Amino acid sequence: MTPAELGYRLPAEWEPHAATWLAWPHRRATFLGEFAAIPPVFAAVARTLARHEPVRIVAAASVLAEARTALAGVANVECIDLVTNDSWLRDTGPVFLVPQPGRDLPPAAVVWNWNAWGGKYPPWDADARVAGAIADRLGRRVFRPGLVLEGGAIETDGAGTLLVNERCVVDERRNPGIGRVDMERALRDFLGVDRVLWIGGELAGDDTDGHVDQLARFVAPGRVVAARQPDRLDPNHAALEANLASLTSLRDAADRRLEVIAIDVPARFAFEGVQLPASHLNYLVANGLVAVPVFGGPTDEPALRTLEACFPGRVIEPVDCSALVRGRGALHCITRDEPAPPA
């Protein structure tokens, strides 16, 4: 039986967490410019998270030793010996499921296949084993769809609605011969969702082919924040305007038309002439916290104010991601939330 048939669901990220996981960075080739600036960002994120919930960091050998040294004396952090190729654990880690209310089921995890965003960054053999290794360590019931899907490609309201970008989910480089109909069926069956909402587009410079966690995120059932670029000279302007128009036409699993709240993203953000996918929407949610990427520009404060209004009662913590985005991702991309067991 599939997870949906058994009574599992994909929880929203604002639901209670047992922990957040990170993979310590060591692969210099996936970052532009000087790599030395990257591990301190991971350390800052881990320290921020550890004030709110347990943090579990995976790495091996000398990389694990570096993580332990960087976080020596920080409470609520556990370092776990696990070999990785890269540090984008949102995409390589397991997707955790919880039982539907009233269902007496053990916590579960979906282990999707992994091929480095359609074969972009070999080798990826160690990262292909990470999700299963984490799920096994936690004693999770494991489901394996046999398809490639990255965690940054999906976004849920926890109430049966899944938001995805067709560009990076229906893709011959990821799942040859699998069309939208079959992919949607797999998403419903293995994630326990009732309605899949498809959007398109991508940020310039995004090597994931348009992960939704850069473009549109649920902040509550029926409400999404969406990236906007009002600068008509920016390469992201047209694609993001099209996304905004598409989102306003969509209805969720409860048949509500989505309320869409626009958040402007930095214009023409580049490093040494290379456009980068800088987006405030790549925030992470933890227990009592929303950590928000900022980039040292005029869009930072408005984004923080908007997200503060969307997540009342949570600490809004800006995190400078001007170095991290040289890896073409930000806070959500490097973290994997582990939901707390049902009370």
β-pairing, 161-165 vs 154-156, is antiparallel
Domains of the chain: 3-339 (3.75.10.10)
Q: What's the rounded mean pLDDT across residues 301-314?
A: 98
Annotated catalytic residue, options 168, 310, 321, 333:
333
Vertex 49 angle, CA 45 and 52, to 5°: 165
Q: Chain-wide mean pLDDT for the chain? A: 97
Cα distances (angstroms) measured from residue 230 to each of 47, 62, 210, 233, 261: 35, 45, 19, 9, 14
Asked if pLDDT for residue 201 goes beyond 90, the answer is no
Give residue for tokens 């079959």. 182
Q: Mind listing the pLDDT tens digit for each residue in 65-93?
A: 999 999 999 999 999 999 999 999 999 99
Position 108 confidence tier, pLDDT thresholds 50, 70, 90? very high
* Tokens describing residue 312: 């009342």
The partner residues of 335 in beta bridges, in order of sequence, read: 22
The helix-helix angle for 38-50 and 61-70 (nearest 10°) equals: 60
Supply φ then ψ for residue 184, to 5 degrees. -65, -40
- The answer to whether residue 310 is catalytic is no
